[in-house]
Chains A and B, each alone.
Chain A
Amino acid sequence: MSSYAQPHSRVSVLSTSSQSSVEHLSPAASSTRFSLPSIPTTPQPKPAGVRPNIYDRNLNKTRITEVSAAAFTFLFSETVQYTQKRVSGINDLERRLNTLGYRIGTRVLELMVWRAEGQSKAPKREIRLLPALMSIHTQVWRAVFGKPADAIEKSVDNADEYMIVDNDPLIERYISVPRDMSQLSCSSFTAGIVEAVLDGLGFPARVTAHSTPKAQYPSCTTILIKLEKSVLEREEVLK
């Protein structure tokens, strides 16, 4: 009995597997697999109030795409804690936060260029330093933090240094840096974003963050931009 049943079952296994492989190769099957228009024809009932998937949203509509500030601060807090466990000192921590911000900044610049293309009739790329800094101060800040920064300053002593001042940076609103790490500024993350945007626009610079508390703004932060020499030389030529 068993010697009879074994070959029979084997044959049946072979036959089903060969059948399925034929199905995979048949053009009819592959067309149903890859045809995109067939997907929307099966509408799925969506519960009311559910927003579309983030990949399906329009990149140019900014009003409805705000995220929760509380969720962001928790995420950023975890980011700082995670990073802090893996570094050897404050400089290292700031450098890593800067790198994380840099990765965001490249995307921010790309997104802003895309939005400018879609919205304005004459989209342009900033090629002069001061308009570029102004657009970082206003547009980048508004896109990332929802409000423009508070000031742009030019260093009196060094011609290659510019500063962007934020009186109440969103990412530091709930952060109290302990005294033994007093020179740490978590806005290095923001500095990374600025550095990436400047790099992307063709103004290579070294950007750092420094907390400069004032009486009425205890968490006031200065983003210091130290431009590369080539940028200043080009500005001279363009004058």
Chain B
Amino acid sequence: MAIYGLWVINKAGGLVYQRNFADGLAQLTSNEYLVLAGTLHGIHAITSRLSPMGSSSGAQVIEGESFKMTILLTASGTKFVVLTSLAEASPDALLQKVYEIYSDAVMKNPFHTPEMPIRSEGFDTRITALIGSG
């Protein structure tokens, strides 16, 4: 049971927020995180077109041997991604809470520019209160 990290990807595939909470995954440079986020954005776009039954929400969970990645795609195209251990019970509920905090502390903040990296203190403190400082 551990939450390793949280990403927020804007609708163009850029990583606008990245934070680690626990050790357990390889430490990457910020450039590598940007590349991974862009790659995930592309993979997600492909998966959303693979469904034989018409439109699809795209990949929701990607599991590895030691971690899983849960993705929440919002109506505006922003993606929230949380990296957790396999045993983590409800990453979906966590992502919903993160989305709520994002709507409050980022979208209602007049000093935030949409689609740009999130540098909002209120977002940081609320995420810390939700997940822990790590």
Contacts and interface: CB of A to CB of B under 8 A. Distances in A.
Secondary structure class of chain A's binding surface, majority of residues: helix
A119 interface: no
A80 B125 contact: no
B120 interface: yes
Nearest to B113: A81
B132 interface: no
Interface residues of A, number: 18
Contacts, number: 37
Contacts of B104: 174
B108 A176 contact: no
A81 B109 CA distance: 9
A77 interface: yes
B105 interface: yes
Contact of A175 (B119, B122, B125): B122
Interface in A174-212: 174-178, 181, 186
B110 interface: yes
A99 to B, nearest CB: 17
Contacts of B121: 176
A177 B109 CA distance: 8
B125 A218 contact: yes
Interface residues of B, number: 13
A112 B54 CA distance: 57
A77 B107 CA distance: 9
A77 B110 contact: yes
A70 B103 CA distance: 10
A23 interface: no
Contact of B108 (A77, A177, A178): A77
Contacts of B33: none
A84 interface: yes
A178 B122 contact: no
Contact of A80 (B105, B107, B110, B120): B110
B108 A174 contact: yes
A78 interface: yes
A73 interface: yes
Contacts of B105: 174, 176
Contacts of A79: 110
A77 B125 contact: no
A114 interface: no
27 contacts: A73-B108, A74-B107, A74-B108, A76-B110, A77-B108, A77-B109, A77-B110, A80-B110, A84-B110, A174-B108, A174-B109, A174-B122, A175-B108, A175-B109, A175-B110, A175-B111, A176-B105, A176-B109, A176-B120, A176-B121, A176-B122, A176-B123, A177-B111, A178-B111, A178-B119, A181-B111, A186-B110
Those 9 A-B pairs whose CB atoms lie nearest each other, nearest first: A80-B110, A174-B108, A176-B121, A176-B122, A77-B110, A176-B120, A73-B108, A81-B110, A174-B104
